[in-house]
Amino acid sequence: MTRLAEKIDISELAAPGVRELTPYQPGKPIEELEREYGLDDVIKLASNENPLGPSPDVLRSLSDNLGELSRYPDGNGFVLKQALCRRFDLDPGQITLGNGSNDVLELIGRAFVTPDNEVIFSQHAFAVYPLVTRALGARAVVTPARAWGHDLDAMREAITGRTRLIFIANPNNPTGTWLTRAALEDFLEQVPPHVLVVLDEAYYEYAADPATGIADYPDGLQWLAAFPNLIVTRTFSKAYGLAGLRVGYAVSHPGVADYLNRVRQPFNVNHLALAAASTALTDSNHLQRSVAMNATGLQQYYQAFEQLGLDYIPSAGNFVTVRVGPAAEINDQLLRRGIIVRPVANYELPEHLRISVGSEKENRRCIEALDAILQTL
């Protein structure tokens, strides 16, 4: 063992793109912080999870399905695809199911991107886009942000003959910025046919809600008939409160879905996740409650930040990114008080923190802690 270790430089063995990767940094788990600091009332506002949890109908469906665990799941996800088709008026051939939508983002890369290709995404955009791109050995083309969000003109100008994929998050994580229907439609019309556009709508349900006050927010599914190079991805992790089960999906031209399904592992979505997601789609009241609670919580943060004199980026998601100045120091102080938020220095936002909208009480605790910490600085 030791003698072998002397001879092998493992980094020499890693694929060149993988060698350059830094692992995705997830939000700190509650239990980990409780162990580290000896706390017992930790709250987590770091991973954009639904503070209400899943629908009670989903919990019933999960217990009803426990007897099936010795069986492989339905590799075609028939029931969930039917539920999605009813809900969004789709054809099952358009749908690719994933173990979370991150799985789908990776399938898209594996099916369509080679090391000769370029992949375009924006500065401050979701961390999984560079991970997918670099792991494949493709060239990442990062366009500078405009007003914290995607600069579609810059993205269009970055297209070359080698471009195969453009990732767009609408709204974007971690900045919460969104693109209007008019801007995106204009962009899609100008993208050449050799380029696939991934429209990541992980926060669609929040952004589309009128109570959030987001004007002219588009539903990407409406464009699929006109643009066969468009892939829309969505998830059950956020507004549906199922982050722990891992289920998301892509909707695309059936020809694109066919290739995604060729690289997909046959049982990538587990039985409980399939059952839970199908049921979640039927409880529109729970979704409505979740989205309404988020709209109220965002206002709670906006008002507090205005009182504290902090600049924040208005958000179409279930989180808000705020400029606090010495973010690493403030994050550390928040952790000591049992509050987990997300530092975003790895997104080139070293002075900001991203805070997920929790329950009214969790939000209040976070705001009061932030206020107290800021006074000591």
**Bridge partners (DSSP) listed for residue 352:** 323
Q: Is 200 in the site for ligand PLP (CB under 6 A)?
A: yes
* Burial call 195-218: b when 16+ CB within 10 Å, e when fewer: bbbbbbbbbbbbbbbeebebeebb
Nearest residue to ligand PLP on Cβ basis:
100
Q: How far is the CB of 246 from ligand PLP (least distance, A)?
A: 7
Q: Is 338 in the site for ligand PLP (CB under 6 A)?
A: no
Q: Is 49 in the site for ligand PLP (CB under 6 A)?
A: no
Q: Give the span between the Cα atoms of 118 and 346, in whole angstroms.
A: 22
**Nearest to ligand PLP of 174, 297 (CB atom):** 174
Q: How far is the CB of 235 from ligand PLP (least distance, A)?
A: 3
Residue 193: asked if its preceding bond is cis (omega within 30°), the reply is no
Q: Name residue, tokens 């029931």.
A: 79
Footprint (CB under 6 A) of ligand PLP, residues 210-239: 235, 237-238
**Nearest to ligand PLP of 196, 304 (CB atom):** 196
Q: Is 321 in the site for ligand PLP (CB under 6 A)?
A: no
Site string for ligand PLP, 4-43 (x = CB under 6 A): ----------------------------------------
**Nearest to ligand PLP of 175, 333 (CB atom):** 175
- Are 134 and 140 a contacting pair, CB within 8 Å? yes
**Nearest to ligand PLP of 200, 205 (CB atom):** 200
Q: Is 275 in the site for ligand PLP (CB under 6 A)?
A: no
Q: How far is the CB of 39 from ligand PLP (least distance, A)?
A: 26
**Nearest to ligand PLP of 248, 338 (CB atom):** 248
Q: Which of 112, 121, 126, 312 binds ligand PLP (CB under 6 A)?
A: 126
**Nearest to ligand PLP of 122, 173 (CB atom):** 173
Nearest to 30 by CA among 344, 369, 340: 340
Q: Give the span between the Cα atoms of 319 and 48, in whole angstroms.
A: 6
Q: Which of 55, 123, 163, 173 binds ligand PLP (CB under 6 A)?
A: 173
Q: What number of chain residues touch ligand PLP (CB under 6 A)?
A: 14
**Nearest to ligand PLP of 98, 338 (CB atom):** 98
Footprint (CB under 6 A) of ligand PLP, residues 91-110: 100-102
Q: Is 176 in the site for ligand PLP (CB under 6 A)?
A: no
Q: Which residues bind ligand PLP (CB under 6 A)?
A: 48, 100-102, 126, 169, 173, 200, 202, 235, 237-238, 243, 248
